Structures are given as structure tokens and as C-alpha cells.
Amino acid sequence: MAIFFNLRKKLTIFFIHSKSSTMAVNQNFQTLRLDYLSISRAPWKPAQLKGTLAEQRPFVVTYLVNSCSLSLESAIAVSEKIQFQSPERPDLVLALLRNYGFSKTQISNLIRKRPKLLLSHPHNILIPKLEFFRSIGLSSSELARTLSSETTLLTRSLENKIIPTYEFLKSVLLSDEKIVASMKRSTWIFLVNPSKSLIPNVAYLKESGVPQNCVSLLLTHFPEAVMQKQESFCETVREVKEMGFEPKKSTFVLAIHALSGKGNKSIWDKCFEVYKRWGWSKDDILSAFRKQPHSMMLSEKKIMKSMDYFVNEMGWPSRAIAECPVVLFFSLEKRIIPRCSVFQILLTKGLIKEDSSLTTVLLPVEERFLERFVSRYHEEVPELLSVYQGKVKSEGL
């Protein structure tokens, strides 16, 4: 280990003094070659390399550091996966990536994960894929961000993998805009084998009576749910049906998403226990789930904070929230507290009835709420708007 760090120190000093000169590197690196080759290989393996490889690696390491912005350690590791003696092809690839908007960091990340891309033919391999993704609507920044994070996409066959998947998605989603939205949710939509998941799962949805617009909703916003193995997906669909969901409604596919995969099911179980702690029965929980499937995907912290405010601060019955679970999605700071503060002032002053429900306070759009609860009582309570905006505290009014 001490030998390795000593060698790395020598190499670092060497790179600094080489001033990025490839010729100087090739000449001076010879004194370090034997140490370099023995250390770069695992010590328990014989460091027997062909002469050609031994001559190439110092050049490759230098190129990766100077042209691709890799650290010396990363460059040494990557040099075991790629060999070249001339910078001509790699230079063309790097210039192409920069031209398509890839940043230095994104290029470095791309090459570190997929070093063989440096030897790809720019015009025959890379440009067709880059142009394809740009043609369906990815902006330059989205293209660079997507492909540098999911580098496998650039190794997929355009004709045999990417385009067939695109054609299937287009037949279901009908627009490139929705395909791009789905891809942003999960780049794996272009990596899975559609014949093993996407195609049979979409077919099963249609057989189950799910209309086109709902299939599109699921595939656009929650593609990972449709990418499950066929057996697991069909089991989830049957479970959702048994819970009383109507296939023709959007809540059906939202419930599929909420119950898809081990991760989501674990969250569902956790939410179930949290709601039970607030006195909800199993029927209450399932009723709320049928109304708002994603109420079973909220974090424990979000549920607890909202329920605590509704029940302990506002005095509303816990089960009233089960009847209108959409209120759990609202921001406590931006919507719930400002509106409830106004409501409490009006209630205290006897300007509204005590039996006003939380739905009349929390559900209306902002314009309607202001008209009904703020502007109407401006003369009686001039400070209402300031309270709503958080500029004045409600205590004492």
C-alpha cells in the first residue's frame, strides 16, 4: 500500500511538470512504467502484459487526465478498460459531446462510466442517437443531463432497441411530449425489453377495462409501475380491483402505482399504521385510499404534522380527514395555516357558523377563498388579509 501511494505521488508530480505535453509524458513515463504496471494490477495477479498494452497505458492515462478531466486514480482504473495510441478518435468524440452541450463534469462522468465511448464512431454511432433524442423533444441541457446520468442509453442499439421502444410508446402515449415526460421520470423506459414488461402490461390494462387516457396517465407519470415483471404487475392490478377501484377512473391507475414494487408497498403499510394511530379504522383507511390513492404514499412526518394541526389545533374530528384525504396534500405553511387562521378569527367574532367544514375552508382555489372569507369581511376585520399573508399574527384580533 505504501508503495502505491509513493507511486501515485510520483505520478502526480510528473503530471504537474509535464505541462500536458503528450510527448514529454511518453518519454519520461518510461522510468515509472514497471512500477506503474505492477501496482495498477492487483498484487495477487501476475502483472504480465503484452508490450503494446504496456506502451499504450501511460499515454491513455495522460489523455484521460488532461482531456477528460479524470482524477489520476480514476484514469488509472479506466485505462484498464480502454486502449488507444492516437488521440484522433477520442478528440472527435469529446468535441462532439461539447458541441451537444455536455459540460466538463458531465463528459468526465460519462467517460468514467463508459470509457469505450471514446472509441465510438461519432457520425455512425453517436450522432444518430443524440439526434434521435433531440428530435423527440429533449433540450440540449436535458439531453446532456439525461445521457451523462444514464450512460447505458448511448450503448443501446438505435435500430434494434431504442426506436422499437419509442414506436411502442408512441402508439400508447400518442405524443413525443408525453414520451419525453415518461423518460424524465425513468430513463429505464428505454432500457427494459418492452416485450417482457411494457407490451404485455399495457395489454393487460386494456383487457381489464382501463381506458386509453388512464393507461397514458400511468405510463407518462409513473412508468416504473408498468415496467414491473408481468406476473407482479397483473397481481397488483387484480389487488386494486379487489379493493373496489373502478378501472375506468384515474384513481385505478394511481392505486396501481401506490401498490407497485416492494418500496411502495412498504410505504403503504407504514401509512396504514400511522393512520391507525389517529383512530382510523381499516374501512376509513381504505375509503381514503379509494378517494386519494397517493394518500398512502405520504411520509410519516407529513401525515403527523398535518393531522396534529387539524385535530389538536383546529379541533376537527380525525375521521373527518379520512372523508376528505386530499387536504393532507396541502402545504401546512402555505395553505392550511393561513386559511385556518382566517377561519378561526371569523369564528371567534361570530361572523361565520361553527359547523363550517374543513372542505369549505381548504378546497376552494385562492381567488374564491379570498372572496368568500377575506374580502367579504374587510370592514369588520381589516387585518384579515395581513393575517392570511402572514404579516400579522392572529392572536389578539
Strongest mean pLDDT among 5-14, 49-58, 69-78, 233-242:
233-242
First CA to last CA across the chain, in angstroms?
72
Model confidence at 353, in pLDDT bands (50, 70, 90)? confident
Least confident among 42-56, 72-86, 154-168, 278-292: 42-56
Sign of the CA dihedral running 329, 332, 338, 342: positive
Mean pLDDT of 298-319: 96
> What count of other Cβ atoms lies within 10 Å of the Cβ of residue 90?
22
The answer to whether the beta carbons of residues 51 and 44 sit under 8 Å apart is no
Residue 217 in this model has a pLDDT that exceeds 70: yes
Mean pLDDT of 327-344: 96
**What is the rounded average pLDDT for all residues in the chain?**
87
pTM metric for this prediction: 0.80
The answer to whether the beta carbons of residues 156 and 146 sit under 8 Å apart is no
Q: What is the pLDDT of residue 27?
A: 44
Q: What is the pLDDT of residue 397?
A: 64
The answer to whether the beta carbons of residues 380 and 351 sit under 8 Å apart is yes
Question: Going by C-beta distance under 8 Å and a sequence separation of 6 or more, which residues neighbour residue 392?
Answer: 383, 386
**Eight-state DSSP code of residue 122:** I
Tell me: the pLDDT tens digits for 218-245? 999 999 999 999 999 999 999 999 999 9
Residue 137, phi then psi, degrees to nearest 5: 125, 0
Alpha helices in 100-211 (DSSP H): 104-113, 127-135, 140-149, 163-173, 176-185, 198-207
Q: What is the pLDDT of residue 48?
A: 36
The answer to whether the beta carbons of residues 373 and 346 sit under 8 Å apart is yes
The answer to whether the beta carbons of residues 222 and 198 sit under 8 Å apart is no
Tell me: the pLDDT tens digits for 247-283? 999 999 999 999 999 999 999 999 999 999 999 999 9
> What count of other Cβ atoms lies within 10 Å of the Cβ of residue 307?
20
Mean pLDDT of 282-306: 98
Q: What is the pLDDT of residue 356?
A: 73
Question: Going by C-beta distance under 8 Å and a sequence separation of 6 or more, which residues neighbour residue 252?
Answer: 210, 214, 240, 245, 246
Residue 118 in this model has a pLDDT that exceeds 50: yes
Mean pLDDT of 56-62: 84
Angle in degrees, CA 309, 326, 296, rounded to 5: 90
Q: What is the pLDDT of residue 394?
A: 72
Residue 43 in this model has a pLDDT that exceeds 70: no
Residue 18 in this model has a pLDDT that exceeds 70: no
Cα 198 to Cα 164: distance, rounded to the nearest angstrom: 12
Phi-psi group of 350: left, alpha or beta (phi > 0 → left; psi -120 to 50 → alpha; rest → beta): left
Give the amino acid at 327.
V
Q: What is the pLDDT of residue 56?
A: 54
Whole-number percent of the chain with pLDDT over 90: 80
Q: What is the pLDDT of residue 164?
A: 96
Residue 175 in this model has a pLDDT that exceeds 80: yes
How big is the chain, counted in residues? 397
